[in-house]
């Protein structure tokens, strides 16, 4: 028997709860524990509201918020691939595509299509909204690493060059914030949080 619309939506809501169990490599800023992916999404959505004046171009904030709230949903099935992982990144795209098919497929067709389109837009980084969202997605872990004393950077022997390259979407999506990012990375290097 086919599920009702509400049953499909509740099924997706049940799956969303699993995002709370996906641990990221980034530590909380107080270095007390690792952040989970649900916390990460919430933090990005909050930052999107607070920092929208720094977006490179005017953005539809509601669209950005939706995008940020679904951008890591695929990690429920695919897991979190550490930003500086050179091995698992090779299979990341295929794992995440498969996860997106399953997870967004749980929803009523038009809702699933809308959220999948937002997820795809985030991944493609071609709109003002997706560029801003991606900039936030890079800025937040930078702040966590910096204020936690470089915990995950030091653990994984991350270099200054790797961090600079990883932060490039900030230069595109939030150019006014870029000088602050560069200063934080330079300060992190001087403090020994990253390898020069």
Would you say residue 182 lies in a domain? yes
Can you read off the two tokens belonging to residue 21?
A: 């169990």
Residue ranges making up the domain that contains 119: 35-191
When pLDDT is cut at 50, 70 and 90, the band that residue 156 belongs to is very high
Per the structure, how many domains does the chain have?
A: 1
At residue 86, the pLDDT reads 85
Would you say residue 16 lies in a domain? no
Would you say residue 80 lies in a domain? yes
Are the CB atoms for 134 and 118 separated by under 8 Å? no
Would you say residue 170 lies in a domain? yes
> CATH no. for residue 175?
1.10.3210.10
Class of residue 30 by CB neighbours under 10 A (exposed 0-12, middle 13-18, buried 19+): exposed
Would you say residue 5 lies in a domain? no
At residue 61, the pLDDT reads 98
At residue 69, the pLDDT reads 98
Distances (CA, A) of 184 to 122, 160, 167, 189: 25, 11, 11, 9
- 3-state secondary structure string across 49-71: HHHHHHCCCCCCHHHHHHHHHHC
Which residue has 């809308």 as its token pair?
114
When pLDDT is cut at 50, 70 and 90, the band that residue 103 belongs to is very high
pLDDT exceeds 90 at position 114: yes
d(CA 82, CA 8): 31
Would you say residue 1 lies in a domain? no
pLDDT exceeds 90 at position 2: no
pLDDT exceeds 90 at position 52: yes
* Mean pLDDT for all residues in the chain: 96
pLDDT exceeds 90 at position 88: no
Would you say residue 162 lies in a domain? yes
At residue 89, the pLDDT reads 85
Would you say residue 48 lies in a domain? yes
Q: How many CB atoms lie within 10 A of CB 20?
A: 12
At residue 163, the pLDDT reads 97
Which residue has 């071609």 as its token pair?
126
């Amino acid at each position: 028997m086919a599920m009702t619309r509400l049953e499909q939506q509740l099924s997706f809501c049940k799956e969303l709860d699993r995002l709370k169990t996906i641990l990221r490599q980034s530590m909380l800023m107080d270095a007390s524990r690792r952040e989970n992916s649900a916390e990460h999404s919430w933090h990005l959505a909050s930052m999107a509201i607070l920092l929208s004046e720094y977006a490179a171009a005017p953005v539809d904030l509601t669209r950005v918020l939706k995008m940020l709230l679904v951008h890591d949903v695929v990690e429920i099935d695919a897991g979190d691939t550490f930003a500086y992982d050179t091995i698992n990144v090779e299979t990341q795209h295929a794992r995440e595509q498969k996860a997106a098919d399953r997870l967004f497929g749980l929803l009523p067709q038009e809702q699933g299509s809308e959220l999948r389109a937002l997820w795809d837009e985030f991944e493609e980084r071609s709109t003002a909204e997706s560029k801003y969202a991606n900039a936030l997605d890079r800025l937040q872990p930078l702040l966590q690493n910096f204020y936690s004393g470089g915990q995950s950077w030091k653990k994984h022997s991350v270099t200054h060059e790797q961090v600079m390259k990883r932060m490039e979407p900030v230069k595109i999506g939030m150019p006014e914030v870029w000088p602050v990012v560069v200063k934080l990375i330079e300060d992190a290097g001087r403090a020994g949080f990253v390898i020069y």
